[in-house]
Structure 1
Amino acid sequence: MKSIAFVLLSFLFYGAGCAQVPAGNTLQIKSLTQSDVKLDGQLSEKEWTEVTPVDLRSPWVKRTDHIANYRSFTDRQYFYFGFEVTDTTLMLYVSQEETDVAKGDRVELFFSDKPDLKNYYCLEMSPADKVLSYRAKHYRVFDNSWDLPGLVLSARVKKGGYTVEGRIPLAALRQIAGQAAGDTKPFKLYTGVFCGDYFGADENDVEWHSWITPKSATPDFHIPSAFGVFEFE
């Protein structure tokens, strides 16, 4: 999330935002022997029905419902992920400029090997089937030259919202986790799961949703308290 509207951080909460990941914010990533998922943005295969969805909620706007959910699993080769988003005010920027993804509706996955976010890796994915990928260091030092090897993405706009479906080679995630090539032991990653829902053309016309509630007075996902833990079998 790079909207300049949220670059300024509330110093009152800055120390809390740098705390360790709270206990209990852990998601066990289910492992399947094999997968027949076709990446078409529909999330219709039986594999998706075997995974309990995680609701993404807005920490900064009072509402009882949720607009997005997330689910994921692995097979022997890949990490699969899927988002389903309800959105009646779809804001899309379709261009060849990768950074334009950050101007509209999107879902996001951030990964780090350590809770201090000394190094973390970000995927921002739009309903237009575009991805903004970058490497970062705390606090908000971005390197847009980074791309995630082997990422495959499929997004689909539908009535009342959109879906984003993708896969990442497990080897790429193991590398982020600091595992040696060929190592197949269970591992974990500190992970952020987010959604940006724009309802107008102004960069401030957005509502942010998250798996974890960050310890910040204003919307900010580039802090350790916005991350939980994914445990891979």
Structure 2
Amino acid sequence: MKLYKVNNIPCNQLIITGKGNDKLWDKAVVLTDFNSPWEDIKHTKTEFKALWDRDYLFFCYKVTDATIHINNTDNSFNSINISDRVELFFRPNSSLNPYYCLEIDPTPRLMDFKALPNKNFDFNWNWPSEDLIIKSNITDKGYSVEGKISIPSLKKLDLIHNEKIETGLFRAKYYKTKKSSYEPVWITWVDPKTDEPNFHISSSFGVLKLESN
């Protein structure tokens, strides 16, 4: 499994703004190893960083993209589901029974749900709001999504084992077609080795390793 090292920082120091511009982010490993195994990616790049302290796991996506697509029909999951977004999936183990999904668009609207194998989704489940903070920022060059997840909530969901969190890192990028509709290209850190795009599968996950000082 691919492994990303999450460096440790002093507690209560990193400030979430949505821009990922806190100086402490300089301590993070920059992950740019994203691609689409199924289609060509055009004119866009994906960057991910993570840090942690005693209380929180921090994450930041920075997306280079001059043609952001956001469906503004309403604030429903249906609208988020057909917008550009970044995603984090967490699982206790490879059985995916269950796993937990955070999908965040550039505004940042959140689609969070619990899932079981074979894309059995429970949209009535939500990550506790007091344990998750997300912010975002949009520019003419792209967007960033920055957030923090409480360590206690990750532990309560049985997601940290031996300082490792099994995680999928993904992105959906919508391109306008010749028929003026929008179709997604699916971008991932880990190639799941599937013929068709599918992130809801055991082989799409890597590991976030919580490093000690």
Do they superpose with TM above 0.5? yes
Given candidates 192, 195, 204, the residue that maps to 2:171 is 195
Q: What is the Cα deviation at residue 132 of structure 1?
A: 0.2
Q: What is the Cα deviation at residue 231 of structure 1?
A: 2.1
Matches within 5 A, 1:6-85: 22=1, 25-55=2-32, 56-62=34-40, 67-85=45-63
**1:120 maps to which residue?**
99
Structure with greater strand share of residues: 2
What do you get for the CA RMSD once the two structures are aligned? Answer: 2.0
Q: What is the Cα deviation at residue 70 of structure 1?
A: 0.6
Equivalent pair of 2:89/2:169 in contact (CA under 8 Å) = yes
**2:110 maps to which residue?**
131
Q: What is the Cα deviation at residue 86 of structure 1?
A: 1.2
Give the TM-score normalised by structure 1: 0.81
Change (3 A) 1:28 1:52: closer
Change (3 A) 1:224 1:202: farther
Q: Distance in 2 between matches of 1:130 and 1:100?
A: 9
Q: Distance in 2 between matches of 1:187 and 1:175?
A: 14
Equivalent pair of 2:86/2:172 in contact (CA under 8 Å) = yes
Q: Deviations over 1:85-139 (max 9, x none)?
A: 0112211123231332111100000000001212100000000110000000011
**1:101 maps to which residue?**
80
Change (3 A) 1:178 1:71: closer
Equivalent pair of 1:177/1:189 in contact (CA under 8 Å) = no
**2:152 maps to which residue?**
171
Q: Distance in 1 between matches of 2:116 and 2:154?
A: 17
Give the TM-score normalised by structure 2: 0.88
Q: Distance in 1 between matches of 2:187 and 2:41?
A: 11
Change (3 A) 1:177 1:187: farther
| Comparing 68-77 and 170-179, the one that deviates more | 170-179
**1:19 maps to which residue?**
none
Q: What is the Cα deviation at residue 188 of structure 1?
A: 2.0
Q: What is the Cα deviation at residue 30 of structure 1?
A: 1.3
* Number of residue equivalences: 204
Equivalent pair of 1:53/1:71 in contact (CA under 8 Å) = yes
Q: Distance in 2 between matches of 1:165 and 1:202?
A: 29
Which amino acid in 1 is paired with 2:158? A
**1:8 maps to which residue?**
none
Q: Distance in 2 between matches of 1:102 and 1:65?
A: 22
Matches within 5 A, 1:192-231: 192-200=168-176, 202=181, 205-231=183-209
Where in structure 1 are there 5+ consecutive unaligned residues?
A: 1-21, 180-184
Q: Deviations over 1:139-166 (max 9, x none)?
A: 1000001111211110111112100000
Q: Distance in 2 between matches of 1:39 and 1:189?
A: 21
Equivalent pair of 1:87/1:197 in contact (CA under 8 Å) = no
Q: Distance in 2 between matches of 1:92 and 1:69?
A: 20
Q: Distance in 2 between matches of 1:69 and 1:209?
A: 12
| Comparing 135-144 and 62-71, the one that deviates more | 62-71
Q: What is the Cα deviation at residue 41 of structure 1?
A: 1.1
Equivalent pair of 1:87/1:162 in contact (CA under 8 Å) = yes
